[in-house]
Amino acid sequence: MSQPPVRSSGKTTSLSRIIMVSSAGSAIEWFDFFIYGTAAALVFNKLFFPASDPLVGTLLAFMTFAIGFVARPVGGIVFGHFGDRVGRKPALVSALFLMGGSTALIGLLPTYDAIGVAAPVLLVVLRLLQGIAVGGQWGGAVLIATENAPRGRRGLYGSFAQLGVPAGLMLSSLVFLVITSTLDDRQFTAWGWRVPFLCSIALIVVALFAQFKLEETEDSRQARQEREASGAAEGSRSPVVEVLRRHPRNVLLAAGAVVVIGAGFYLFVTYMLSYGTTVLGMPKSTLLNAVLVGAALQVPALMGFGALSDRVGRRAVYLVGAAGMGLWAYPAFLLLNTERWPLVTLALVVGQLLFAAMYGPQAAFFSELFSARVRYSGASLGYQLGVMLGGAFTPIIATWLYAKYESFVPVAGFLVAAAAVSCLCVLVLSETYQDEDEDEDDDDNVAAAEDAESGGNVRPLTAR
């Protein structure tokens, strides 16, 4: 895939804005998404499902957490279509507005005691909107960064958009840490949990900045022109339909590669927070501090692994993270069970660094799997399907496994299985990091020829 050369001085300011918006927008949006997971583990089971026993209440709270993941592929489809047909910038800005508004409304939502069953129903609706927004935002932030990256640095620039995960996690953990440290349990339950959700109004400011300061990517402009020039029949085809017709193999393999990312991240961040507080009886602050340290270390790790993938390839770096995540599952629980802060921190930090080894190069890896005209749809759909499969039900499955077997071993085995699936999918995918030396038009011609011969099972931007 052809990328623009290193930007001239006239474009430096624009590129810095692109990096800032993709990083800051992702950080605040993921902050919004993570505070829901933290609240689900700490307080939603009491405020929105009080009629249930503690275990059932926790499971129901995690079910609403999972609904956000189920909605993410919908967001990938809707915003993918919008992003491929209209442009990356308007799709990204719309997703940011949706996320900021829905999260702020959660902070204003009455509890079960105030409005009864309507409270959890409204919570589910707003969680669905959160999921749709995240499903649309990721593709926009990633493509804004990678499609404007200088030659040979797409992995590094793609990692800037990925910084939203640790930055958002760090912000959410820090906010909850401060609130839980300064308020007693009664105050936190009464109103303290609402403060992080109301802070999401800041995302609307980022969206406004992006609307007025961002430029559309050259790849997006060219793809739109090609679509318009290809004729009415070709131009009217949905990008989602087109990517599923031409690149179904890459969509499915990308989804499989992400399974361990979803399972591993939410096991180490969301489930272990619940496991540590409810099973082991550890203080919330101990676990939140450990998560905070891991999130801080993820920031340089993501950039380092992204840059490394520009040198040695996406697959090699990704495989190290996926295999390592599976191997670390059992030792991590052993360390957590010691209830000693240094060892608990080590367990969570290593898990998050292994996540960074996959997530750092992932943005460039997935964007390189699809041609520009369907890239938003293809990358978003593959990623969101995989995160839904791997992340949506991980806290629920882990909670159920521990309740049934009263042991962490089956929970660790679940992560090992997810890692095996992802390793296999990454091995089947071809390496992509050197494809920027190829000509985009030649690549599309080859893709079209392969499409005619293989009936849609093509890989347009993989090494040949």
Question: What DSSP line would sit under 130-169, residue for residue?
Answer: HHHHHHHHHHHHHHHHHTTPPTT-HHHHHHHHHTHHHHHH
Alpha carbon of residue 95 to chain centroid: 14
Tokens for 150?
């200088």
Q: CA dist 275 to 58, 170, 395, Å?
A: 11, 20, 10
Q: What per-residue confidence (pLDDT) applies to 52?
A: 62
Element of type H or E holding 97: helix 88-107
Is 139 within 8 Å of 122 (Cβ atoms)?
no
Burial class (CB in 10 A: 0-12, 13-18, 19+), 255: buried
Cα 435 to Cα 378: distance, rounded to the nearest angstrom: 17
Angle at the Cα of 292 from the Cα atoms of 290 and 296, rounded to 5 degrees: 120
Q: Name the CATH superfamily housing domain 11-215+238-436.
A: MFS general substrate transporter like domains (1.20.1250.20)
pLDDT at 432: 75
DSSP string, 403-454: HHHSSSHHHHHHHHHHHHHHHHHHHHSPP-TTGGGS-HHHHHHHHHHHHHHH
Q: What is the pTM of this model?
A: 0.79
| pLDDT value at residue 256 | 94
**Residue 10 CB contacts under 8 Å (≥ 6 apart), including other chains:** none
Contacting residues for 9 by C-beta, under 8 A, at least 6 apart: none
DSSP 7: P
Q: Tens of pLDDT along the chain (464 residues)? A: 444 443 433 444 366 777 777 777 777 767 776 777 778 767 777 788 776 666 666 667 767 767 777 888 888 889 988 888 888 888 888 888 898 888 889 899 998 888 888 888 888 889 889 889 888 888 888 888 888 888 888 899 899 888 888 888 788 778 877 887 888 888 888 888 898 888 878 777 777 777 667 777 777 777 777 766 665 445 456 888 888 888 889 999 999 999 999 899 888 877 888 888 888 888 878 888 888 898 889 999 999 999 999 999 999 999 999 999 999 999 999 999 999 989 999 999 999 999 999 999 999 999 888 888 889 989 988 998 888 888 777 877 888 888 889 899 999 999 999 999 999 999 999 887 666 544 344 344 434 433 443 343 333 333 32
| Residue 365 CB-density burial (10 A; 0-12 exposed, 13-18 middle, 19+ buried) | buried
